[in-house]
């Protein structure tokens, strides 16, 4: 009788594990699909230097109340020309926002690469602090290399 009970218990546990497995895999796939897309859309000369236009789309699954990134600007020779932080502020879930930043003393034609060095702020009701950098998907529509 003890063997029969043990077999039933093991069988029940196996059925429960099989029933739960797809949900765990689905949750893991959903987390992998969650991305924060930041696109370097344009560089334009401005009165102060160079205006960078970014397009950000929050697909992380939750609102971002703060998102900021440390950028490293490299010139066309590969030398670091500026280290700075850009604040994207709030990024509602599923919403696309355009943000512009002016960098004084920067010649747009001399920018060769923009590196997202790290996320300096990443906050929201259900957001892990490293989600902004770990789930970041950088893109560019410019000739400038843009990435992490």
Assign 11 a pLDDT band (cuts: 50, 70, 90).
Answer: very low
Question: Contact, 138 vs 116, CB < 8 A?
Answer: yes
Give 123's strand partners: 66
Residue 14 pLDDT level (bands cut at 50, 70, 90): very low
Residues 78-122 pLDDT 10s: 999 999 999 999 999 999 999 999 999 999 999 999 999 999 999
Q: Tell me the C-alpha to C-alpha distance, in Å, between residue 83 and each of 15, 110, 144.
A: 55, 15, 16
Give the pTM. 0.77
Please compute the mean of the pLDDT values over residues 15-23 and round it to a whole number: 47
pLDDT computed for residue 8 by the predictor: 52
Closest CA to 82 of 109, 113, 55: 113
Task: Output phi, psi for 66, to 5 deg.
Answer: -150, 135
Helix (H) or strand (E) holding 2: helix 2-33
Q: What is the CA radius of gyration of the chain?
A: 23
Give residue-wise pLDDT tens across range 33-85: 899 999 999 999 999 999 999 999 999 999 999 999 999 999 999 999 999 99
Which comes out higher in pLDDT, residue 8 or 40?
A: 40
Mean pLDDT of the 20-24 span? 47
């Amino acid at each position: 009788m003890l063997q029969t009970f043990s077999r039933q218990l093991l069988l029940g546990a196996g059925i429960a594990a099989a029933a739960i497995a797809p949900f765990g895999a689905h949750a893991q796939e959903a987390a992998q699909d969650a991305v924060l897309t930041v696109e370097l859309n344009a560089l334009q000369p401005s009165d102060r230097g160079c205006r960078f236009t970014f397009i950000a789309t929050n697909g992380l699954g939750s609102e971002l109340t703060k998102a900021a990134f440390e950028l490293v600007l490299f010139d066309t020779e590969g030398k670091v020309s500026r280290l700075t932080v850009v604040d994207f502020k709030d990024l509602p879930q599923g919403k696309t926002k355009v943000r512009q930043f002016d960098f004084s003393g920067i010649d747009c034609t001399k920018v060769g690469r923009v590196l997202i060095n790290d996320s300096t702020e990443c906050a929201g009701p259900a957001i892990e602090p490293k989600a902004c950098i770990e789930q970041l998907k950088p893109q560019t529509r410019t000739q400038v290399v843009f990435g992490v």
